[in-house]
Amino acid sequence: MKTLNKTRPVSLEKIMVFVAVFLPLLGVLVAMIRMWGWGITRVELSNLILFYIITGLGGITVGYHRLFTHNSFKTYPTIRLLLGIAGGMALNGSLFEWCFRHRKHHVHSDTEGDDHSPHLQGKGFWNSLRGLWHSHTGWIFSVGKPEERYAIQRLRNDPISVFLDRHFVSWIILSALLPTLFGWVLTSFSWEGAVLGLLWGFFVRVCLVHHITWSINSICHLWGTRPFATGDHSRNNLLCAIFAFGEGWHNNHHKWQWSAKQGLFWWQIDPSWWFICLLKKLGLVWDVKAPTREEIAKVMAGVRVEKHAV
């Protein structure tokens, strides 16, 4: 049964979601119009790439997903705080809501109760298109807050997680402020540079992070390979893996949810795993979970192996 947030009217919540989804798209349109005929400078490109990596790789994939949701490695409170702030700056939702929704997805993957499955709209061409739209963006407008039973209690018991969730609006403001300041500094403190920083480092970047992240919900449950039997339609997709810092190895992830490593084979690029390995070498993370080659080989051979706790 769907539940809605009781702290503010549904109409206001819908408006906030609409703004969060479509305002970055408007920013992309403005950026394209302004760029037409003369190209893009180092200010725009630097802002876009830097904050795309910070919020996409550090925030969503390593922070929100592999650390907070699946607890696939441990780290110091300061690192948890920084990764959580970067996740909030991605504008993908507050920490608790993002993690709860993702856990719910795993519990009900591609069955009734999965908020963003593309396979629940019926058969036929038009229903397939409806499913694609729903899994990519439409679900954001049609579902309420996740039910309490999908909450991860360890997050509620963690003061840092509570702080990160409670101050989500602050991370949104920071997400707009930092690229604006960066653009201002890069152009010798010009207002034009500040505006360009906001346009490319915030609006264009947020749009990119949104749609790449949502592609894991949609594309990676429709197109790709399925080396592991997972009981759902999760698939590995190379393009999604490239742009989503390794998250595109989605079938691997559904088989090994607890793993900090999603690119399980040498040719499966996984920048998020590389970043975690770097942090481990620096002594900043430990207890990193990943299946061994023997465990992977046994699963591919159809031999049951013991599951780790998520």
| Confidence (pLDDT) at 90 | 95
Distance CA 126, CA 131 (A): 9
40-63: per-residue pLDDT in tens? Answer: 788 888 999 999 999 999 999 999
Q: Running along the chain, 310 residues long, what does each successive block of 10 average in pLDDT?
A: 40 61 73 68 89 97 98 97 97 91 92 91 88 89 62 87 95 96 93 91 93 95 95 96 97 97 96 98 98 90 57
Gap between the Cα atoms of 34 and 130, Å rounded: 33
High-pLDDT (> 90) share of the chain, %: 67
pLDDT for 23 equals 75
Predicted model pTM: 0.89
Q: Summarize pLDDT for 79-95 with one digit per residue, the tens.
A: 999 999 999 999 998 99
Helix 159-166 vs helix 95-107: angle between axes, to the nearest 10 degrees?
110
CA dihedral 136, 139, 145, 148 (to 10 degrees): -70
φ/ψ of residue 106, rounded to 5: -70, -35
Radius of gyration of the chain (CA): 20
